[in-house]
Amino acid sequence: MATINAPTLQNVQYSGAAPLAAAHGAVVLAAAAIADKVRLVLVSAGTKVDDVKAIYAALGAGTTISVGYEYADGSGADATAFINAQATAAAGSVRSAVKPVTLTKDAYITATVGGGVATGALDVVALYEPRGV
């Protein structure tokens, strides 16, 4: 299991005065193995994630993608908090079907590869409320 840092990981998440913001993480996978984790974007402690959408290319036969989070300090994670094992053999998109999740610490929004070796583009957009701690 490897950890892949997406190019978008260092993007600054700016919400201004808006009560709702969007964090966009994107990566092009190159033969990512089963259980490889992609850190897509970092959000601040106190963030309430209301909705997540994953948009993906055809990533390979039998592949799946799960979307969740991992606390930046390594103290906890839920790899399927937002999307659980979405089939990604054909290009498409999926939205979360879970209630909002409040992240108590700085956290990475993550995607985890399952089912097979994944190659292709993956974008994840999280709509969130920056509430602070």
pLDDT digits (tens, 9 = 90+) for 73-116: 999 999 999 999 999 999 999 999 999 999 999 999 999 999 99
pLDDT of residue 11: 74
Which residues, at least 6 apart from 43, have a Cβ–Cβ distance to it below 8 Å? 13, 23, 49, 103, 106, 107, 109, 126, 128, 130
Q: What is the pLDDT of residue 94?
A: 97
Q: Compute the distance between CA of residue 110 and CA of residue 38 in angstroms, rounded to an integer.
A: 5
Residue 103's Cβ-count burial label (10 Å; 0-12, 13-18, 19+) is: buried
pLDDT in tens, 4-36: 889 887 776 666 666 888 999 999 999 999 999
pLDDT score recorded for residue 9: 78
Architecture of the CATH domain 3-11+20-130:
Sandwich (2.60)
Is pTM, for the whole model, over 0.85? yes
Contact 49, 125 (CB under 8 A): no
Better-scored residue on pLDDT, 46 or 131? 46
Provide mean pLDDT across the span 52-59: 97
Gap between the Cα atoms of 51 and 80, Å rounded = 13
Chain-centroid distance, C-alpha 43? 11
Spans of all domains in the chain: 3-11+20-130
